[in-house]
């Protein structure tokens, strides 16, 4: 008999003795666990004759963004346990049913989705304990409408909603200081993995690069399986997000305007740790080399998509950019992002100084640009059209954004009104190659803001 077989039999025999001759079952787990590792973490929260621990909700609640301690789930329902139900915001401002936004009448949560109960009512429901889900959990209760899209999920939901709010100094007291724990898990109760993953798989790649093995991903089947155990669970700490609840804030659109004040204080360099983790993960494993000091101009070609430049204008722009870079020793890249694997996309963007592209998802990559006085995002619109999405992203990240209408450009605070004229999403978007003059000034003037 091999040594491994003898060891397996011995361990099995010890477990047998512990279970049948040792402590009662309530203590078995800790005895067996301590045979291998030492941990003081409980497996459940017990209250026995005492009251059910109340749910704590962080101050500064925003529609669609909530932070809880001791949030309970049981038989398909999320429970807030409190002796002060009047202090809880309207459930419709916390979450939704996970339907598309157009189905607002059916998307309001009911008692089966979210229930506010007293400790006495909770004890009648839960009994004497709840199994503990420890650490920080990020939960997004939307359906697939905004999850299966790189800009909507990675930029809006992950970066600008969960991470920007979670790291706000306004929550330092509630979360026990200025440092933040990594989320142990991201939970998407309303979608399957296939409903969440975007076509280039950048959603998955980004979370894996940012959190590595620290964070697990759970989807609808995992949620349903847990609920199907017919036992109560209590989350240690929950960051709960819901896009439909966010849209129920009548001023949500105004928050993207330059004059708007974000309702929470922002921590300095709040995005830098994630950007550094992701771009480092994306970097090629080559021997250290001397970094290039050349400015890098990246023009994202959208000529394979439905929203694109006129082909003649595209070719003229590429030619003008090549000429600019040749004369000034700049580096030029003209990628078609859908033809590149995620790590190459993000590594290129991490080196980029000036990012150019037609309005669209390709400009989401500005998340990975390193902020500097010269970092620039140039967004090409169909003349007369404008939407805040990528201008807002640039402004929050500290990049300088210019919108281009053929041969004219604009920047904050002098922005046009939001408008989507005929042709906005079409294949006949014009652009003048003269925008290279703007790029030259941004990269050469002592003060780039004079461009």
Q: Is the pLDDT of residue 183 over 70?
A: yes
Each residue of 356-387: pLDDT tens digit? 999 999 999 999 999 999 999 999 999 999 99
Cα–Cα distance, 174 to 419 (Å, whole number): 41
Cα–Cα distance, 43 to 133 (Å, whole number): 8
Residue 25 confidence class, pLDDT cut points 50, 70, 90: very low
Looking at residue 15, what is its pLDDT?
43
Q: Record the pTM.
A: 0.87
When the pLDDT of each residue in the chain is averaged and rounded to a whole number, the result is 90
Q: Is the pLDDT of residue 99 over 80?
A: yes
Q: What's the average model confidence in pLDDT over 58-69?
A: 95
The CATH code for residues 291-450 is 3.40.50
Each residue of 293-316: pLDDT tens digit? 899 999 999 999 999 999 999 999
Q: What's the average model confidence in pLDDT over 275-289?
A: 82
Residue 289 confidence class, pLDDT cut points 50, 70, 90: low
Domain ranges across the chain: 12-39, 56-267, 291-450
Each residue of 418-449: pLDDT tens digit? 999 999 999 999 999 999 999 999 999 989 88
Each residue of 318-362: pLDDT tens digit? 999 999 999 999 999 999 999 999 999 999 999 999 999 999 999
Looking at residue 23, what is its pLDDT?
44
Looking at residue 162, what is its pLDDT?
95
Residue 30 confidence class, pLDDT cut points 50, 70, 90: very low
Looking at residue 290, what is its pLDDT?
54
Q: Is the pLDDT of residue 8 over 60?
A: no
When mean pLDDT is compared over 1-15, 274-288, 297-311, the highest value belongs to 297-311
């Amino acid at each position: 008999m091999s040594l491994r077989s003898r060891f397996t039999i011995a361990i099995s025999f010890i477990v047998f003795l512990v279970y049948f001759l040792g402590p009662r079952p309530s203590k078995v787990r800790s005895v067996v666990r301590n045979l291998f590792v030492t941990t003081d973490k409980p497996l459940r929260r017990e209250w026995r004759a005492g009251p059910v621990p109340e749910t704590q909700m962080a101050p500064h609640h925003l529609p669609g963004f909530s932070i809880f301690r001791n949030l309970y789930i049981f038989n398909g329902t999320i429970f807030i346990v409190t002796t002060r139900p009047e202090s809880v915001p309207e459930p419709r401002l916390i979450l939704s049913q996970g339907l598309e936004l157009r189905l607002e009448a059916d998307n309001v949560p009911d008692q089966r989705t979210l229930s506010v109960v007293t400790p006495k009512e909770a004890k009648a429901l839960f009994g004497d304990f709840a199994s503990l889900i420890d650490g920080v959990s990020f939960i997004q209760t939307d359906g697939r409408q905004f999850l299966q899209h790189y800009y909507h999920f990675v930029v809006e939901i992950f970066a600008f909603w969960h991470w920007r709010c979670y790291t706000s100094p306004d929550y330092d007291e509630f979360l026990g200081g200025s440092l933040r724990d990594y989320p142990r898990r991201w939970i998407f109760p309303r979608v399957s993995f296939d409903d969440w993953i975007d076509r280039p798989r950048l959603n998955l790649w980004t979370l894996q690069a940012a959190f590595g093995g620290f964070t697990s991903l759970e989807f609808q089947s995992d949620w349903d399986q847990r609920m199907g155990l017919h036992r109560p669970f209590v989350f240690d700490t929950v960051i709960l997000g819901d896009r439909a609840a966010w849209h129920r804030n009548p001023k949500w659109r105004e928050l993207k305007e330059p004059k708007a004040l974000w309702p929470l204080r922002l921590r300095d360099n709040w995005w830098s740790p994630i950007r550094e983790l992701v771009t480092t993960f994306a970097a090629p494993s080559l021997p250290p080399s001397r970094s290039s000091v050349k400015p890098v101009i990246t023009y994202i070609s959208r000529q394979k998509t439905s929203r694109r430049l006129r082909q003649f204008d595209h070719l003229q722009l590429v030619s003008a950019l090549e000429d600019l870079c040749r004369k000034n020793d700049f580096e030029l890249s003209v990628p078609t992002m859908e033809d590149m694997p995620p790590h190459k996309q993000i590594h290129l963007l991490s080196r980029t100084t000036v990012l150019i592209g037609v309005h669209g998802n390709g400009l989401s990559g500005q998340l990975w640009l390193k902020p500097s006085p010269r970092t620039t995002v140039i967004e090409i619109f169909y003349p007369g059209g404008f939407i805040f999405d990528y201008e807002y992203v640039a402004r929050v990240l500290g990049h300088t954004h210019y919108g281009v209408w053929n041969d004219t450009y604009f920047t904050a605070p002098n922005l046009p009104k939001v408008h989507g004229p005929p042709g906005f999403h079409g294949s006949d978007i014009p652009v003048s190659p003269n925008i290279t003059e703007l790029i030259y000034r941004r990269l050469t003037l002592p003060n780039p803001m004079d461009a």
